[in-house]
Amino acid sequence: MMSIAARWLHHTFNEMTSQPDDRLWSRLLKRLLFPASLVYGFSVKFRNLLYDRSIFHSIGTEGLVVSVGNIEVGGTGKTPFVIALCHQLQQFAKVGVVSRGYGSLTAKRQDPIVIEGDKLSAMECGDEPLLIARHLPGAIVIVGKDRIKGVKLAQKKGADLVVLDDGMQHRRLKRDIEIVLVTRRIHNGQFLPAGVLRDDPKRLETADFVFRADGVDFCLQPTGIFSIKEGKPISIEGKRVALLCGIARPMRFYESVKALGAHIEEVCFYPDHFEFSSSNLSKITKKFKKKGIEIVLCTEKDGVKLETYETHLPVAVLKIELRSTNNNDAWSALINKIKEKL
């Protein structure tokens, strides 16, 4: 599991490289990190070469496996995409979803587990898998370190097909369809840690489908604001709002809330998958309350972690859904290809 310091660095570099930045300190940091990026990029390319040349072998399973992934670090809309895709697939198949459960207790275990109802917390199974399970009550959502065991468990539980969440780099598991999500940040062109690339852009050439985020092929559309405790829709009109989140691209969250006409007076952004605590939240919300904040707004991904804590202020979540903007033909082709392979 990443240390807090490592997550802060990851968060800083992710923000730094996600948009043009002419500040001197930013340019200096990128130059200092460039040698490390060369080493990382070489290791990624060498590993891919070993698989491409069949020196390393991918392990297949009996049923259909669909991978959804990216070549960048976070913020491509992968979780909403998986949810939207599985919603449509559930119309004609029993769907399984396998996820690593990044940062959770389960991510350390070799044996995968099934998320059933509200038996597991986000700390136990991970924020993204728990969010996926809540949006897809009929799906078999599996979490575990070993993806191959996870897929086999989903198939044993009756899944007709399995969607591999964040599966692009997990080449040990053979997949039948490869879907990759990209943003404009790939034009940064540098590997981690100086850039945002976690894989070689050349792999896009072998993907079955490539979907562009940030409103090109799809966008993330707000659907409403809901109380974290009661689940009821609420209005933030005329209220003094503070934003609290731990995601890869917090400014996208900020802009979404701002577009709704909210009066954002305070923000508190943490690195992706940040582990909130009772004392941490108490301190933050107490500080917000002293400054006259009336409501704290977070993302759904943060909401599944915050719902178990008591705070000094009401907390609400901004719900979003994926909507196609320019590539309905590719979406239809994807669904048809999955149907053909079943």
Among candidates 225, 227, 99, 209, which has minimal Cα distance to 164? 99
Q: Residue 129 has what pLDDT? A: 96
- CATH architecture under which domain 64-217+325-341 falls: 3-Layer(aba) Sandwich (3.40)
Q: What is the pLDDT of residue 23?
A: 64
- CATH 3.30.160 applies to domain 220-320: no
| CA–CA gap between residue 146 and residue 158 (Å, rounded) | 19
What pLDDT is attached to residue 29? 83
Q: Residues near 38 by Cβ (< 8 Å), separated by ≥ 6? A: 191
Q: Find, among 102, 152, 157, the residue nearest to 124 by Cα.
A: 102
What confidence score (pLDDT) does residue 107 get? 82
Q: Are 133 and 90 in contact (CB under 8 A)?
A: no
Helix (H) or strand (E) holding 76: none
Q: Please give the pLDDT value at position 7.
A: 45
Predicted structure pTM score:
0.92
Cα dihedral value 98, 191, 7, 130, nearest 10: -20
Coil, strand or helix at 98: strand
pLDDT tens track, the chain, 342 positions: 334 444 444 455 455 444 445 567 777 888 899 999 999 999 999 999 999 999 999 999 999 999 999 999 988 999 999 999 999 999 999 999 999 998 888 888 879 999 988 889 999 999 999 999 999 999 999 999 999 999 999 999 999 999 999 999 999 999 999 999 999 888 777 999 998 999 999 999 999 999 999 899 999 999 999 999 889 999 998 899 999 999 999 999 999 999 998 899 999 999 998 989 999 999 999 999 999 999 999 999 999 999 989 899 999 999 999 999 887 899 999 999 999 999
Q: How far apart are CA 91 and CA 220, in angstroms?
A: 22
- Delimit the CATH 3.40.50 region(s) of the chain: 64-217+325-341, 220-320
DSSP letter string, 271-321: -TT----HHHHHHHHHHHHHTT--EEEEEHHHHHHHTTS--SS-EEEEEEE
Q: Quick one: DSSP state of residue 225?
A: E
CA separation for the pair 168, 41 (Å, rounded): 16
CB 222 within 8 A of CB 256: yes
pLDDT, residue 179, reads 98
Residue with tokens 């996820």: 99
Residue that is written with structure tokens 């053909």 in the block: 340
Calpha distance 10→323 (Å, rounded): 29
CA 304 – CA 103 distance, rounded (Å): 14
Contact 199, 51 (CB under 8 A): no
Give pLDDT, residue 187. Answer: 79
What's the CA angle centered on 211, arms 208 and 217, to 5 degrees?
A: 145
User: What is the C-alpha end-to-end distance of the chain, expressed in Å?
Assistant: 37
Helices marked H in the chain:
4-17, 24-52, 78-89, 122-125, 127-135, 147-156, 250-259, 278-290, 300-306, 328-341
| Residues facing residue 98 across a β-bridge | 142, 164
CA atoms within 13 A on the CB side of 305: 26
